[in-house]
Amino acid sequence: MDLPRLSASLHDCQRCQLASGRTQVVFGTGNPQASIMFVGEAPGFYEDRQGEPFVGAAGKLLTELLQSIGLERSDIYIANVIKCRPPNNRDPLPDEINTCKPFLLQQIELIQPKLVCTLGNFATQTLLERKVGITKVRGQVIRLENFVVFPLFHPAAALHQGNLRVPLKEDFQKLKTVLEQMSQTPTLPNTISQPTLSTPQEPPKETPADPPIQMNLF
């Protein structure tokens, strides 16, 4: 299996109720060998029409934020947890997330990014497998077994709530620092803290036997 075959297998997906209202499946786009992957929530109106994630106003803001730290969209891969647009852009339902999650995990397995930036609550909770709010873990480095997660506010949230723009921009600058340090050293940066959450909202614990993470980004 490769990305084109996986995408083709989902072209006419009928696995959940979202199939009846979509224009097309929005699989993902970008560099299939990317070291950095961004994962959002679900396609919106423009994404549903064009078949690509983050092409509306939130996508424009994401592009600007990437450029602010020296990245282009061609450097990364972008996908969503949900591949079809929910009606009226409502939140994805648990069964819809559970249906689509295996395909997101397959994308990650095929791309093998070193770092995955989760945009918003749904992407963050899906990959961390924890009911944790994005406000508590945003801008922090969280090590999973095969890659690092770096949660961020969703650009759409920053568009709707102007007070989130500044922290979102600040977290992108943190991301730049993380990428620079990870490209220069074989270990995670010491300057970025791990999230501290009360039980049961704890992110996955580090495994001492995990191999050091290296990134060749530049």
Tell me the two tokens of residue 13: 């997906």
Query: pLDDT (tens digit, 9 = 90+) per residue, 6-15?
Result: 999 999 999 9
- Paired with 150 in beta bridges are 117
C-alpha 176/C-alpha 89 separation (Å) is 31
What is the phi/psi pair of residue 66, to 5°? -60, -45
Contact between 104 and 30 under an 8 Å Cβ cutoff? The reply is no
User: 139: left (phi > 0), else alpha (psi -120 to 50), else beta?
Assistant: left
Query: What residue type is 121 in one-letter code?
Result: N
Confidence class for position 191, pLDDT limits 50, 70, 90: very low
Q: What percent of the chain has pLDDT over 90?
A: 82
Global confidence as pTM: 0.85
Instruction: Report the range out of 38-42, 185-189, 192-196 with the highest average pLDDT.
Output: 38-42
| Beta-sheet pairing, 115-119 with 36-40 | parallel
What's the pLDDT score for residue 186? 58
Contact 53, 40 (CB under 8 A): yes
> Is residue 192 over pLDDT 90?
no
Q: With a cut of 50, say whether residue 206 has pLDDT above it.
A: no
Name the amino acid, one letter, at 29: T
- Confidence at residue 89, expressed as pLDDT on a 0 to 100 scale: 94
Question: What CATH superfamily is the domain 26-183?
Answer: Uracil-DNA glycosylase-like domain (3.40.470.10)
Domain ranges for the chain: 26-183
pLDDT above 90 for 189? no
pLDDT in tens, 25-58: 999 999 999 999 999 999 999 999 999 999 999 9
Report the mean per-residue pLDDT for the chain.
Answer: 88
Position with higher pLDDT, 203 vs 165: 165
> Which residues 6+ apart lie within 8 Å of 53 measured at CB?
26, 28, 29, 40, 43, 47, 59, 78, 79, 80
